[in-house]
Structure 1
Amino acid sequence: MAYLHNADTTGVADLLALEPDHHGRLFTHSTRDQLITYLQSRLSPAHGTAAADELLDSPLASSRPLLRATAEELLHTDRFVLLDQQQVAVSLVRRTVKKAREADSKEVLIVTGGPGSGKSVIALHLMHHLAHDHHTVVHATGSKSFTRTLHHAIGTDNPRVRKLFAYFMNFADTPKNGLDALICDEAHRIRAHSVRHRGVRQIDELLDAAGVPVFLLDGHQVVRPGEMGSRKVIDQAAAARGLRPRHIDLNGQFRNGGSRAYEQWVLRLLQLTDEPATEWADERTFHVRVVDSPQQMEDLLQAKEAQHLTARAASTPCRFCLVGASGESVFRRRR
C-alpha cells in the first residue's frame, strides 16, 4: 500500500491508471477517506493498548544476524585454544545457560584462576559459543584498558559486535534477567556501589542482569579502593537470592610453565598464604633468575631466543615495603 499524502488525484493520473490488485493499492490526499475505509477493512477494531504493552514488556534480544556476526568475528580457534579444565569450564557454562533458558530458571557460576590460567580465553570462547547458540550474551569488565585490549585481540571493526563488550557500570538499568548470560571478566574489579543508584551494590545489578551471570576472577588479585569483587562476596550476594553458585577452579596449571612449586613459592613470598616463605630451588624445567639491570634482562632473553626458545618481557609497577619505627608498613610505588 502506498499513501502519497502530498499528491492529489490529477497529479498522479498516470499511476492511478494502473489496475489495482491484491498486491498493492495507491491512495492520495484526495482519496484519504478511501484509505481510511481500506485500513478499517484490514485492521482489527480492538484497542491497541494490549498489543503495545506486550511489545514494551517483551524481553530484549539481539538479532540473529548480530549473533551470527559475533560468533564469526569473535573467535579464530587457531588463536585461542582451550585445554583440559578450560574446556570443562566452557562446556559447563554452555549447558547451564541452555538449561536455564529452557526452564526459565537462574544460575550463578564462578570461575577462579590466577594470571595465565586462561580466564579471558574462556570468556572469549563463551562469547563465541553462546552467540552461536543464539543466546543473548554480553561481556563486561571494570577496566577500560582491558576492554580496549580485547577489542584489539579480537580484531573486529564491527561496531555492533564491539558494543557487546561493556563495563560493569552499564547494567544499572538492565531489565531483570534481560540477558541469557553475562560474562563478568576480571570480576575482582566489581565496585562496592552502583554508579547510578544510591544504596544499590554493583554486584546486585550484575546478578540481576542475566539468567546466568558468570564471574571470572583471581582470588589473589589486589583490589583497589572501592572495589570488592571476591568469591565470598559473590557467594553471599547469590545466597541472598536463594542461589548457590557453582565453582570452577582453573589452578590446575596452565600457568607458570606448569610449575606448581613456583606458584606456591610466590604465594608464600607475598604472604598470600599462612605458609612461611622458603628459599627457591630450581626445577629441571623451571628456573628463577634475578638480574641487576634492564640490559642484563634483555641479554638473558635474547640468549634464550638464540636457542630458538620463546621469550617475553613484562613490566608492572613494583611496591617496596618499608617498616617504620612504629612497626607500620609503608608502601612506596616505583617502576
Structure 2
Amino acid sequence: MLVYENTKAGLLDDVLNDRLVAEIKKGHADQGLAVGSDSEVRSWENSFQYVYKVLASSDIPDDAGIAVEFKIPLTSRRVDLIISGYDEAGNANAIIVELKQWEGESTQAVAHKDGIIETYLGNDIRETTHPCYQAWSYTQFLEDFNQYIQETPVDLHPIAYLHNYEPEAREELEHEAYQQYTDEVPLFLRGEVAQLSAFLESKIQVGDGGEILQNIDASPLTPSKSLQDAILEMLEGNNEFTLIDSQKVVYEKALELAAQSQQDDQKRVLIVEGGPGTGKTVVAINILVELLQQDLTAQYVSKNSAPRDVYEQKLRGDMLVKDINHLFTGAGSYVDEEPNTLDALIADEAHRLNEKSNFFGHGENQIMEIINAAQFSVFFIDETQRVHIKDIGSIDEIEKHAAELGAEVTKRSLTSQLRCAGSEDYIDWLEDVLDIRELAVPMEEDVKYDVRVFDSPQELHDAIEARNEDGRLSRVVAGYCWDWEKESKPDAESMDITIGDYERSWNLEANDPWAIAEGSVDQVGCIHTSQGLEFDYVGVIIGDDLRYEDGELVTDHEARASADRSVHGMKKMTKERPDDARELADEIIKNTYRTLMTRGMKGCYIYCCDDDLQEYMRSRVAEITSGDATVELPQ
C-alpha cells in the first residue's frame, strides 16, 4: 500500500520545504491507516534529512520513483523507503531501504539468536531484528507473493542505512552471526553518503516516474513457485504432519470451502472445535501448505508466538537462506487490510484472540479483522483454553462477526485424541478434578496414561530430566506465580522460581523456541511458551493461585506474579463487578492448569505448592491409576 508516492525531485522538494511529514500523515489518513507514535514521526523528520543528502548528491534521475512507508500486504510492517527505476540494460530495479537512527555505542550483537541484535530503543536497551535481516525479510516476502515482481521480473535490492551509526562499531553489525544477511544486504553507516550514492547510481540510470512502484502496489498476491516447492518438500515425508481420522475430514472440508469461495466470491468461515491433542495445529499447517500449492495466498495466524515459532522451525529444517516466517504471523497483522486481500487465513488457537490488536493502539476486534481480510478463514478453537483476561475467542463471537460480514459458516469437530496417550478419559477426569466439568459417569478402570504426584518439585524435575535424557521430549512448566526478573536477558544464573531448596529459571530466551531448545529442560516454562504445543512428558508445578480449602478448589488471582498480564485488570474488575471477576478468575486459572496438564502425550507429572491441594490431587490420581511416583533414572 503506497502511503507516500513521488519522484526523486518531488521528494527533495517536499523535504526542502518541510512538507514531507505532513504529506506522509495525509497519506496515512487517505489510506485509513494509523499514523503511529510521536517518536516515529520524529524519525521521519530526522532520517529524511540524511536521505535528502544522499539523493541530492547522487546522479540517479529526477524521475526515479520514490515510496515512503510502503505497507507490505498481509503484515503489520512498512518499508521505510523504496527507490525504483531501470539500469542501462533496461532491467527494472527497486531498492528496499531500511533506515535506522541507531548509534554504535549502545549496539551489541546477540550471537545465539537468528537475526536478533541489541540496541537502544524506547528509552532502554532492547533486543530487536537486525536491520539487514529486516530489509532482507521484506524483499523475501515481496518476491514470494507479489505476482508483478515474479513475472516482470523486477530485481529487488535490499540495503540498510544507519545514518547515525559510527563506523568504528561496525563489527557489532557485521558479527559472523549475521553473515547470511549482511552478505546479501549492503550496510551503509554514518559518513558513507558517497558509497551509498554510488550504489544507487549502479542500479538506477533511467527513471520510471514511479511506474514500477505503482505496479508492485497494484499487483495480485500469488505464492511463487519456489515458495510452493520449498514448503511442500518440507512437509512431505514428515510423519509428524500426517493426518488421520477426523483430521483428514476437516482438511478436505477446508479445501472444498476454499475452492467454493474462489469460484463464487462468497466469503466463508470454517469453525473447527477440538480439545487438547486432537491435532488442530497439524491440520492447520496441512491446510496452509495445500492452499499454497493451489496458487492461493494463505497465512497461518496465532496470537501466541510459541506455536508459530516451533512449527516454523520444524518446517524450515536445515534451511539457512530461504525463510518462511512470513507465512506465520500474529493475529494483529490485519488491522488495516482491505476486505478479501487474502484468499485464506488459518487461525490457530482462536480462543486466544483479542479485541484490540495493539498495533499503534489501533484495531477493533481480531476475529472481525481476520474474517474481513480473507475470502475464506478457518478458526481452530478450544473454548476451555481461555487463559487471559483479554481472550475473547469463542464460537459465538466468530459466528457474530461472520454474520456481520456476510460470511457463510460451517462447523466441524476434531475428535481423535493423539495426546494424553489417546485417553479421552484422562481429559474428562482432569476437567472433573479442576471443577471445570463434572464427570457424567465415574471411572471404572485405570486411565491408560502416566499421571503421578511427586513429593517435591525437585523429584518431579529429576523425573522429567530422566525422561528427556531417555530420548522423550519432556519439559517442566508452572503456573505464572513467580516474577520473571531478568528483563528478557538470558541469565541462567538468575533463579526466578524458589520452592524450599528447589531453584530454577523461568524459560530463558534462546536461538530455538523454548519448547524445543536443547537446554530448556533445565528451566521451567510458562503457559505462553507451551500453549498449542506438546511434549512426550510434562511436569506441572501448580502454584498458590490454585488451592484446596474446606473441601473445595479455590482460585486466587492475587497469587499470580505481578508481571503476569493474563490477569491484569482483575483488581479493578473485583472492585466494580466482584461476582464477574471471581467467575473470570476461576475460568482463567483453571483453564491455565488444564492446558498445562494436557501438554504431555505420554504422561503428566504433578507437584502442588499448597499442601491440601497436594493431598487432594494425590487422592484423585489414586482413583485412576495404580502407579506411584517412582521413576527409574538412567544409569
Instruction: Settle same-fold status: TM greater than 0.5.
Output: yes
Partner of 1:237: 401
Partner of 2:520: none
Cα offset, 1:300, TM superposition: 9.4
Q: Which amino acid aligns with 1:149?
A: V
1:261 Cα shift? 2.2
Shift of 1:219: 1.9
Residues 1:54 and 1:148: Cα distance change in structure 2 (over 3 Å) = closer
The corresponding residue for 1:227 is 391
Query: How far, CA to CA, are the matches of 1:88 and 1:70 in structure 2?
Result: 22
CA shift, 1:298, in A, is 5.0
2:222 aligned partner? 61
CA contact (8 A) 2:296 2:344 kept: yes
Q: Residue 72 in 1 paired to residue 230 in 2?
A: no
Report the secondary structure of 2:385's partner residue. coil
Which of the pair is proportionally richer in strand?
2
How big is the shift at 1:269? 1.8
The reply on whether 1:129 has 2:353 as its aligned counterpart is no
Paired residue secondary structure (1:314)? strand
Q: Specify the alignment match of 1:270 in structure 2.
A: 434
CA spacing shift, 1:2–1:133, aligned 2, 3 Å: closer
Q: How far apart are residue 265 of structure 1 and its match?
A: 1.4
Q: Is the counterpart of residue 330 in structure 1 residue 556 in structure 2?
A: yes
Note closer, same or farther for the CA distance 1:283–1:243 as it changes in structure 2 (3 Å cut).
same
TM-aligned CA distance change 1:176 to 1:276, over 3 Å: same
Q: Which has the larger radius of gyration?
A: 1
Q: Which has the higher contact order (CA 8 A, sep 6+)?
A: 1
Matches within 5 A, 1:148-163: 148-156=309-317, 157=319, 159-163=322-326
What corresponds to 1:32 in structure 2?
Answer: none
User: Cα deviations across residues 68-98 of structure 1 (Å, max 9, x unaligned)?
Assistant: 3333335544332111000111111111111
Q: What are the within-5 Å matches in structure 2 for residues 15-164 of structure 1?
A: 56-57=217-218, 59-156=220-317, 157=319, 159-164=322-327
Q: Closer, same or farther in 2 for the Cα pair 1:255/1:160, shift >3 Å? A: closer
Q: Specify the SS of the correspondent of 1:122.
A: helix
Instruction: Evaluate the alpha carbon distance shift between residue 59 and residue 159 of structure 1 in structure 2; reply closer, same or farther with a 3 A threshold.
Output: same
- Deviation at 1:3? 6.0
Call closer, same or farther: CA 1:76–1:166 in 2, change over 3 Å. farther
Q: Rate the CA distance shift 1:127–1:261 in 2: closer, same or farther, 3 A.
A: same
C-alpha distance in 1, partners of 2:443/2:356?
42
Aligned residues: 288
Aligned equivalents of 1:241 and 1:2: distance in 2? 46
Please state if 1:175 is matched with 2:338: yes
Moved more, 246-255 or 217-226: 246-255
Q: Cα–Cα, structure 1 residues 199 and 55, in superposed 2: closer, same or farther, change >3 Å?
A: closer
Distance in 2, Cα, partners of 1:186 & 1:246 = 18
Partners of 2:381 and 2:394 within 8 A in 1: yes
Of the structure 1 ranges 190-199 and 148-157, higher mean CA displacement relative to structure 2 is found in 190-199
Worse-superposed segment, 165-174 or 283-292: 283-292
Stretches of structure 2 that go unaligned for 5 or more consecutive residues are 1-85, 91-210, 475-535, 561-607, 610-635
Matched, 1:314 2:538: yes
Partner residue, 2:328: 165
Whole-Å Cα distance in 2 between the matches of residues 268 and 210 of structure 1? 39
Check the 8 A contact 1:97/1:181 in 2, yes or no: yes
The Cα of 1:235 is off from its aligned counterpart by 1.3
Counterpart secondary structure, 1:117: coil
Instruction: Tell whether the 8 Å contact from 1:268 to 1:278 is kept in structure 2 after alignment.
Output: no
Cα distance, 1:122 vs structure 2: 0.6
What is the CA distance between 1:296 and its match in structure 2? 6.3
For the aligned residues, what is the CA RMSD?
3.9
2:350 to 179, 187, 192: 187
CA contact (8 A) 2:223 2:292 kept: no
TM-score by length of 1: 0.72
Q: 1:281 offset after TM fit, Å? A: 5.0
Whole-Å separation in 1 of the counterparts to 2:465 and 2:445? 18
Matched-pair contact (CA < 8 Å) for 1:282–1:288? no
Cα contact 2:464–2:538 (8 A) shared by 1: no
Give secondary structure in 2 for the equivalent of 1:313: strand
Range with bigger deviation, 275-284 or 105-114: 275-284
Contact map agreement 1:269 1:276 (CA 8 A) in 2? no
Letter in 2 for 1:137: A
Distance apart, 1:167 and its partner CA: 0.6
Task: Return the offset for 1:120.
Answer: 0.7
- Give, in whole Å, the separation in 2 of the partners of 1:77 and 1:4: 45
Distance 1:279 1:200 in 2: 45
> Are 1:178 and 1:211, in contact at CA under 8 Å, matched by a contact in 2?
yes
For 1:123-167, what per-residue CA distance to the aligned partner results, in whole angstroms no more than 9, with x for missing partners?
Answer: 111122111121111111112232211222213435542211111
2:492 corresponds to = none
Give SS of 1:265's match: helix
* Residue aligning to 1:257: 421
Separation in structure 2 between the aligned mates of residue 77 and residue 99 of structure 1, nearest angstrom: 29
Alignment match, 1:15: none
Equivalent position amino acid for 2:353 in 1: I
CA separation in 1, counterparts of 2:298 and 2:330?
A: 13
| Native 8 Å contact 2:266 2:375 kept in 1 | yes
Give, in angstroms, the shift of residue 283 of structure 1.
Answer: 2.9
SS of structure 1 residue aligned to 2:260: helix
Equivalent residues of 1:207, 1:238 under 8 A apart = yes
TM-score relative to the length of structure 2: 0.40
The alignment partner of 2:240 has SS state of: coil
Gaps of 5+ in 1: 6-48
1:317–1:62 distance in 2 versus 1, CA, 3 Å = farther
* Residues 253-294 of structure 1: CA deviation (Å, up to 9, x unaligned): 333323232221112222222x26987554374464333235
TM-superposed CA distance for 1:183, in Å, is 0.8
Equivalent-residue separation in structure 1 for 2:375 and 2:89 (angstroms): 47
Q: CA deviation at 1:207?
A: 0.7
Secondary structure at 1:163's aligned position in 2? helix
